[in-house]
Amino acid sequence: MKTKLKLKEKLFSGNLGFTLFSIVIGFVVGAIVLLIAGFNPLEAYSVMISGVFSRPKYISWTIIYATPIIITGLSVAFAFRTGLFNIGAEGQYIIGSLVATAIGYFLKLPPVIHFIFVFITAALAAGLWGAIAGYLKAKFGVHEVIATIMLNWIALYLNNYFVMLEGFKRPQSETSYEIQNTASITILENWKYSDVGREWLSNYPILKDILAAPVNLGFLIAILLAILVWYILNKTTLGYELRAVGFNRHAAEYGGINVEKSMVISMFIAGALAGIAGALQVTGVTKSVAILAAMEGYGFDGIAVSLIGSNTAFGSIFSGLLFGMLKYGGPKIQPFLRAPSEVVNIVIGTIVFFVAIPKFIRMLGSLMNKKRGEKNVG
């Protein structure tokens, strides 16, 4: 009885322990699904692991997959820490990538400066997009979940409208023109395909393999953004205000903090982050935007990333990488096991679900406690 309690306490007390526990659960349940579908889970997981780690190129790809969802994770985490639930990272991401593509294609600027300009305009546009939800909540009490869900759809259709416009749409395709090279952040993009580059790289197979993927500066920027988010939240007066409003808006108001302004600022920052995720994806990987038949899910993945990262900046980096592995390595088990792609998707979905669900339950629990606490005050 005693030792059992101890073990349980240990597992559930530390956030890190709890997270690891959730991840194990996720993989165990994923294994059960594989077993039921008639496949050997050990084999499947080892294929996945070697599909992520066995070649430098694979690691490059994993990081490329992880980068945008780390940043949308930061966006959701930032909003959450200030008391807001940003379901809108998806739409903010779309706005960010659309603006990044437009500025990257239409403007002609010198390298570096062009990228910086793309980066800033995309962040501003998506920030304003997010701030709409903050404003609606502050002024009219519209719940941010509802507002951001609607804004997601508006963003999607705006994207499709602009991509279709003549002069922006690349003929005979469903996508826009590509951005200028001056706006790209892909590392050694031209050089690595040039004759000189090829010849040089053939002497360095590892480097060649790494660069076989569109390796770009996005991941570095994601880490810098995580540091920035952590710094703003914990070390600045702005972060103090936003957190105070998030924890207890009544006390914040009493202390003289402008609650409405805080909500708008918080959603602006969250939106800007998600927009940066979109801009980095465009400038580093896709180079253009396409007509979207459905949401791509970067924003929604961000919710799970934030959740698993305990809504912290650095937690988002690690959970984003974990997600990147699943998203990149997961589908590799399909050709190997000859499993239908549905099974693979179900397994990935199950793992994600069961990694997230214990956290989610705990979060709900603490929310309920908070509510109950408020009610019984005095």
Partner 1 sequence: MDGRNFKEKVVEMKNITKMFGDFKANDNINLTVHKGEVHALLGENGAGKTTLMNVLYGLYQPTSGEIYIKGKKVNVENPNVAIENGIGMVHQHFMLVEPFTVAENIILGMETTKGIGVLDRDKAIEDVEKLSEQYGLYVDPNAKIQDITVGMQQRVEILKALYRGADILILDEPTAVLTPQEIEDLIKIIKNLTNEGKTVIIITHKLKEIKQVADYCTIIRRGKYIDTVKVSETTEEELASKMVGREVSFKVDKEERETGDTVLKIDNLVVRDNRNIKAVDGLSLEVKSGEILGIAGVDGNGQSELIEAITGLREVESGKVYFNSKDITNKTPREIIDSGISTIPEDRQKRGLVLEFTIAENTVLENYDREPFSRKGILNENKIKEYAKDLIKKFDVRPNNEKIKAKALSGGNQQKVIIAREVSNDPDLLIAAQPTRGLDVGAIEFVHKSLVEQRDKNKAVLLVSLELDEVLNVSDRIAVIYEGKIVDIIDAEEADEKTLGLLMAGRGGKRNEN
Report the length, in residues, of the chain.
378
Among 3, 172, 203, 376, binds partner 1 (CB under 8 A): 376
Stretch touching partner 1 by CB under 8 A, among 46-54, 124-132, 208-216, 238-246: 238-246
- Work out how close the CB of 244 gets to partner 1 at its nearest, in angstroms, rounded to a whole number: 5
Figure out which of the listed residues 179, 242, 252, 352 binds partner 1, where binding follows CB under 8 A: 252
Instruction: Please say whether the beta carbons of 273 and 225 come within 8 A.
Output: yes
- Extract the tokens encoding 361: 């339950």
Of 139 and 235, the one with the shorter C-beta distance to partner 1 is 235
Q: Of 15 and 160, which CB lies nearer to partner 1 in the complex structure?
A: 15
Nearer to partner 1, 96 or 239 (CB): 239
Among 15, 50, 182, 248, indicate the residue that binds partner 1 (CB under 8 A). 248
When the beta carbons of 255 and 340 are compared against partner 1, the nearer one is: 255
Taking the complex as a whole, the smallest distance from the CB of residue 361 to partner 1 amounts, in Å, to 20
Question: What Rg, from alpha-carbon coordinates, does the chain have?
Answer: 22
Distances (CA, A) of 244 to 42, 108, 310, 363: 47, 44, 18, 19
Q: How far is the CB of 372 from partner 1 (least distance, A)?
A: 7
- Fill in the DSSP letter of residue 193: G
Q: How far apart are CA 37 and CA 349, in angstroms?
A: 15
Q: Which residues pair with 176 in a beta bridge?
A: 169
Q: Is 171 in the site for partner 1 (CB under 8 A)?
A: no
> In which region does residue 172 sit, left (phi positive, over 0), alpha (psi from -120 to 50) or beta (all else)?
left
CB 288 within 8 A of CB 143: no
Check residue 253 for interaction with partner 1 (CB under 8 A): yes
- Smaller CB distance to partner 1: residue 186 or 306? 306
Whole-angstrom Cα distance, residue 304 to residue 314? Answer: 14
CB of 311 to partner 1, least distance (A): 13
* Residue 174 φ/ψ, nearest 5 degrees: -100, 15
**251 sits near partner 1 (criterion: CB under 8 A):** yes
Binding site for partner 1 (CB under 8 A): 235-241, 243-244, 247-248, 250-258, 372-374, 376-378
